[in-house]
Amino acid sequence: MKFVIARAFGAMVLLVASMAAANAANIEVKIDNFSYSPQTVTVKAGDTVTWTNGDDIPHTVTSKTGAFRSKALDTDDKFSFTFTTPGAFPYFCALHPHMTGSIVVEASGGT
Ligand SMILES: [Cu+2]
């Protein structure tokens, strides 16, 4: 009997672990009127950020450190990047360098 309970508990732990892995979020950043909105986003490692260009002129999403770089995004074009490494990831628009934003990635594990 004890063995059966231990097996059931083990299955529950596996289920919870797989739910946590499926918990990775997709965060939206809108490009509008020559700015990224929200300008700074805090995500967890494993999350994906998707930028959408709402302007009718092209913009890019270009990492200052080379971590990621989109092509020129036309109206309604999207660019996605999955952040796996904790840290700060400042970026800008290569076509309008005064446009800046930042993604802050926190470690996913722990609690
Ligand atoms: Cu731009």
| Mean of pLDDT values over 22-30 | 91
Which residues make Cβ contacts (< 8 Å) with residue 30, sequence separation at least 6? 36, 37, 51, 52, 54
User: How far, in Å, is the centroid of ligand 1 from the Cα of 84?
Assistant: 26
Question: Do you find a cis peptide bond into 90, omega within 30 degrees of 0?
Answer: no
Q: What is the pTM of this model?
A: 0.79
Q: Give just the sign of the alpha carbon dihedral 49, 55, 60, 62.
A: negative
Domains in the chain (CATH in brackets) are 24-106 (2.60.40.420)
User: How far, in Å, is the centroid of ligand 1 from the Cα of 89?
Assistant: 18
Measured from the Cβ of residue 31, the count of other Cβ atoms closer than 10 Å reads 24
User: How far, in Å, is the centroid of ligand 1 from the Cα of 26?
Assistant: 23
Q: Is the pLDDT of residue 66 over 60?
A: yes
Q: What span, in angstroms and rounded, lies between the C-alpha atoms of 42 and 24? A: 13
User: How far, in Å, is the centroid of ligand 1 from the Cα of 34?
Assistant: 6
Half-sphere exposure of 63 (CA within 13 A, CB side): 15
User: How far, in Å, is the centroid of ligand 1 from the Cα of 93?
Assistant: 5
Of the listed ranges 10-24, 52-66, 69-83, the one predicted with least confidence? 10-24
